[in-house]
């Protein structure tokens, strides 16, 4: 217990409380009057988008997605091999999880992370229906994907990074889970492209992705174009 002795400790206490107050609000984030699709929180000049609810999971499994987004081209860019350990961050219904599971084979594993328990229930059902056994659902938090440290060959975030409530902390935790030289992949809808009929706050430019990745121990490897509505930006852990 702190004991005050005739005011001797009072100036120190005041300074300590002021310092605590200054650090209580994270300087990385700025509060604003939010847009209808944002959360009123800005990180590095970008308003963070609202999380897509599990109630919209059917949209993730729509048949036309194969042509609209060309997941075959995304998977080809990942260069997955049997035995790899990979993570699908913001896995949703498991659309990419099941496809990556096929590429890494029975000797590999896909960690399917989501923050909505209901979404993971949908993912489990999808994996049972598809008889996929090498996908492990993980309930993450807003700041931690709950992944094993220095274990992953690759982590991918498909149309989800822009929704992270704490992008700095979440990205740092994902990088921590990568092996040295492991790859981190952002798949985001192209910002400013009139052909992309997605709400602006749910899109990102390549420059913004690189800007936010630059504060982590990551180096840019390449950006894969040629997709109808998205770009694939690939980094490697230093």
C-alpha closest to that of 78 among 110, 36, 107, 51: 110
Among 2-6, 122-126, 201-205, the minimum mean pLDDT is found in 2-6
Alpha carbons 76 and 231: distance in angstroms, whole number: 13
Task: Measure the CA–CA gap between 202 and 37, rounded to whole angstroms.
Answer: 8
* Domain 51-237 = CATH 3.90.1150.10: no
Distance CA 88, CA 216 (A): 19
pLDDT attached to residue 51: 95
Confidence of residue 2 (pLDDT cuts 50, 70, 90): very low
Instruction: Grade residue 25 by pLDDT with cuts at 50, 70 and 90.
Output: low
Domain ranges, ordered by start, for the chain = 51-237
Mean pLDDT for 9-22 is 42
Average pLDDT, the chain: 91
Given a cut of 70, is residue 13 above it in pLDDT? no
Residue 207 has pLDDT above 90, yes or no: yes
Its pTM stands at 0.87
């Amino acid at each position: 217990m702190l004991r005050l002795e005739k005011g001797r400790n009072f100036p120190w206490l005041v300074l300590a409380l002021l310092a605590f107050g200054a650090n209580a609000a994270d300087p990385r984030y700025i509060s604003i009057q939010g847009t209808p699709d944002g959360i009123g929180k800005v990180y590095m000049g970008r308003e963070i988008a609202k999380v897509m609810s599990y109630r919209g999971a059917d949209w993730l499994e729509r048949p036309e997605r194969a042509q609209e987004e060309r997941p075959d081209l995304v998977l080809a860019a990942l260069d997955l091999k049997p035995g790899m350990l990979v993570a699908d961050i913001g896995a949703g219904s498991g659309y990419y999880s099941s496809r990556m599971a096929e590429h890494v084979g029975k000797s590999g594993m896909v960690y399917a992370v989501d923050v909505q328990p209901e979404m993971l229930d949908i993912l489990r059902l999808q994996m049972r229906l598809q008889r996929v056994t090498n996908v492990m659902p993980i309930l993450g938090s807003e700041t931690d994907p709950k992944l094993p440290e220095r274990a992953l060959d690759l982590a991918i975030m498909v149309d989800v990074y822009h929704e992270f409530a704490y992008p700095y902390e979440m990205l740092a935790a994902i990088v921590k889970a990568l092996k040295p030289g492991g790859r981190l992949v952002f798949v985001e809808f192209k910002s400013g492209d009139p052909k992309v009929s997605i709400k602006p706050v749910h899109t990102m430019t390549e420059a913004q992705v690189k800007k936010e990745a630059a504060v982590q121990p990551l180096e840019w490897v390449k950006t894969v174009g040629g997709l109808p509505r998205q770009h694939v930006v690939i980094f490697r852990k230093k």
